[in-house]
Structures are given as C-alpha cells and as structure tokens.
Amino acid sequence: MTTDAHVAGQSALDPLERRALAAVDALADEMVEFCRELIRIPTVNPPGRHYEQCARFVGERLRLFGYRVEYLAAEGHAEHSPAYPRLNVVGRLEGAAPRPCLHFNGHFDVVPVGDGWTVEPFGGELRDGRIYGRGSCDQKAGIAASIYAVEAIRRAGLSLAGTVEQSATVDEESGGYAGVADLCDRGVFSRERQDHVIITEPLNYDRVCIGHRGVYWFEVVTHGRIAHGSMPDYGVNAADQMAEFVHTVNQELLPRLRGRTTSMPVEPEMARHSTINLNALHGGQELGGDGFLASCVADRCVAVYDRRFLHEEDLASVKAEIEGVLEEVARRSDQFHYTLRELWSVPPVATPLDARVVTTLQGAIQDVVGRPAAVIASPGTYDHKHITGRAGIVECVAYGPGILDLAHLPDEYVAVEHLVAAARVMALATLRLVGVP
C-alpha cells in the first residue's frame, strides 16, 4: 500500500511515528473491508434508513478496539421516529489523561442513489484500487480512516498521553440536527471536554478545510387576485409579479454579489463570491394531475432562494439587501404584494489558520504526502457549524479521504490509496495532538 508519495518526506518522522505508519499499512486491507461493509448498510437520508444497524456496527468495532461506547438516541427530535430512529454512537479511548482530547466525527447517512449507476450502489465493490458505492467518498471512508488510524497506534504498541474519541452520527445531509447538533446539546461536544475536533468529510487527503460560507434560505410569496383566465385583466397575476422579482434579482442583485470576494480559500474558486440560487418556483394551481386545470389567473406564487454569504458579510445585512430588492420592485408596481419568510440560516465559520489542529494536520500531510497541504474552505455547510456554533469549540476542521466533487454523484468511489494516505495523516496528527507519555 505504500506509494512514492508516502515515502517522500519521511525523514521528518521520529521512530514512534514510523512504527504507527507501518501499522496503518499493515491494517490497510482490514480498513478497506470495514469501509466496504459500511457501504453495504444502505443508510439513505431521507428518510434515514438502517441508522441503528450502522451505529451498532461502528460501535461494535470501537468496542473491539478498546473504546468505551455509548449510543445516544436523538430523543425529542421529530425526525427520531419508531420507523426511522436516529441513533448516534460515541466511543472514548482514554490514555494516560482525559486531556488533551482529540475527537474524530463522521456522518454515516448518505444521499439517495439517483440514476446513472453502472455498479451496485450498496455493493461495496472493490475494483482497480477503488471502493465504489453511495457513501463511499461521502463519507464512510472517512469513518474507516479515523478508526483505523487510531487503531494502528494501538497495534503498534504505543500508548497516548491524552484521549481520543470517535463519533459516527446521523443526518448531516439534512442539517445534522438529530446528529452532531444533538450531541452538542447533550454536552458530548463541549469546550470542557474536547481540545480538537476533526470532521472526516471528503475534502481530499492533501487538504485541510477550515470552515464554510454562511447560508440564508428564504421564501418569497407574491399575492395576486384570482379571475377567469379568459379575462385576465380582472385579476392580478402573482406569477407575473414574481417574474418581476426574479428578473430584478438576476439583473440588479446578482452583479453586486459577483463583485464580492472572500479572503477565505473557498474551493471551487467560483464559490469565493456571494451567490444566490432560485431553488424552487411555483405559481397558480397545483400541477401533477392528468386532468385539465381550471382557467384561472394565478393568485399565488412561491419562490425559494438559497443565498450563500461570505465570512466578510453578516446575516442582518444579507437579509436587509433582499428586503431592499423586494421594496424596489414594490415601488415600481403598486400591484406587487409579497411576504418574505426565513427558512434557514447558518452563520459562516472560519477556524484561525494558526489553530493547532490546522497546523498539525498541515505538518502531517507534508510528512505523509511529501508536499505542502492546501488549506481550503467549503462552499456548502457541514457539521462544523454545530461544533463551533453550539459547542463553542474553535479548534475544528474537516479532513478526510475522497474527492469532494464525487460526492452525491453516480458511481461514487474512494481510491484505496487516498483512504490509506488519509489514515496515515490522521495517525500522525493523533500522535502529535494527543501526545505520547
């Protein structure tokens, strides 16, 4: 499993670190099998299938590897139902002392399969050095990598000065409220407990992700007046009114947003600007039936927008800007009546570049891969928002195997070579952050 890239830079390693890396390589086949078995549990979200089975599978492996394991159901969340229980698992491997504590978190829910697959989506097929399947890259490989990185340290006969925790959680793909957010609210994540958190999302084995842009999802409804469709002048068409708003967003707001650039290293580069996307648009009568619609002027039209904002912007001004566009359209047309509703918002997060978890991972990537690590930020949000926003832990990054662009695509895969490289980086980072007595 050793590649040229892995050999490069090993001069920076001390003998204990070399032992740990050799143990990662020796465990590679077992780690690959564990990853394949994880993929075979079809934890599709929505609606949240087979979560309990997956949590117990991860928990059993952690127990075998010496962790104290706890299962936490997301009691009190509407999505935690008898049909689709939300179960998170947390394991704790205590070394000589409770601190420093390094926590690895990965989500085990996967998005629906979709069309266009040429392999069995939940087969865990291993072919030409790649593990295929829904969730292989995003992000069951990350869970496998962190568990086996720490196990390699143990099998190499090394003990740790501090503590390692691992959690596998639900619902990241739908906001993480019954997953990481629930663990934050239960105190599993807190500044009093962890010093560093690594979320094992697929940001590529040679990059460290320090955070993400902010989100403002909103709904605009335009209100018209119903009339017979053959005599439209008796009514006010809400869809036409919405068209005015959509047009104004595209013509006037969008150029302003494109002109704003963040200093955060967001990847891909096109996402270094403010963005806005029309997620959904519907006016008039319900569609989908086979029969004729009645002939009516559309008296109601709904638009849902997804506005992503920069670390340099703030939510209040982002909201005010949207209200300003609506008021501008209302000034031009006295028939324009609207309501505006916030659906969801998330502040941006950015871990400081000099945080120890960032610099340590950068050093480990350099030593394993043989070239400098890229530091990036994510265009979309992930569970980092809860770790920082709810638990107040600043020392948090995302790092894991898998190519981000493959997430959610058909024929999703993770390269075995990247899985092993990421596990090697995680093993080094663990030794350096948690320490050896």
Based on CB atoms, which residue is closest to Zn ion, 151 or 412?
A: 412
Based on CB atoms, which residue is closest to Zn ion, 17 or 79?
A: 79
Number of residues that bind Zn ion (CB under 5 A): 3
Minimum Å distance from CB 361 to Zn ion? 18
Q: Does the footprint of Zn ion cover residue 412 (CB under 5 A)?
A: no
398 contacts 384 by C-beta, under 8 angstroms: yes
**Cβ-closest position to Zn ion:** 138
By CB under 5 A, what part of segment 193-212 binds Zn ion? 201
Structure tokens at 180: 């990481």
Minimum Å distance from CB 279 to Zn ion? 20
* Stretch near Zn ion under the rule CB under 5 A, chosen from 113-121, 133-141, 284-292, 318-326: 133-141
Q: Does the footprint of Zn ion cover residue 138 (CB under 5 A)?
A: yes
Phi-psi region of 435 (alpha: psi -120 to 50; beta: other; left: phi over 0): left
Q: Does the footprint of Zn ion cover residue 165 (CB under 5 A)?
A: no
Based on CB atoms, which residue is closest to Zn ion, 141 or 249?
A: 141
> Exposed, middle or buried, 152 (CB in 10 Å: 0-12/13-18/19+)?
buried
Per-residue HEC secondary structure of 90-122 comes to EEEEECCCCCCEEEEEEECCECCCCCCCCCCCC
* Stretch near Zn ion under the rule CB under 5 A, chosen from 97-105, 138-146, 243-251, 273-281: 138-146
Distance of alpha carbon 363 from alpha carbon 372, whole angstroms: 8
Q: Which one of 45, 139, 194, 262 is in contact with Zn ion (CB under 5 A)? A: 139
Based on CB atoms, which residue is closest to Zn ion, 106 or 283?
A: 106
Minimum Å distance from CB 344 to Zn ion? 18
Based on CB atoms, which residue is closest to Zn ion, 212 or 272?
A: 212
Closest CA to 86 of 201, 155, 177: 177
Residues written for the chain: 437
Minimum Å distance from CB 20 to Zn ion? 27
Minimum Å distance from CB 8 to Zn ion? 29
Minimum Å distance from CB 399 to Zn ion? 13
Based on CB atoms, which residue is closest to Zn ion, 138 or 313?
A: 138
Residues that bind Zn ion (CB under 5 A): 138-139, 201
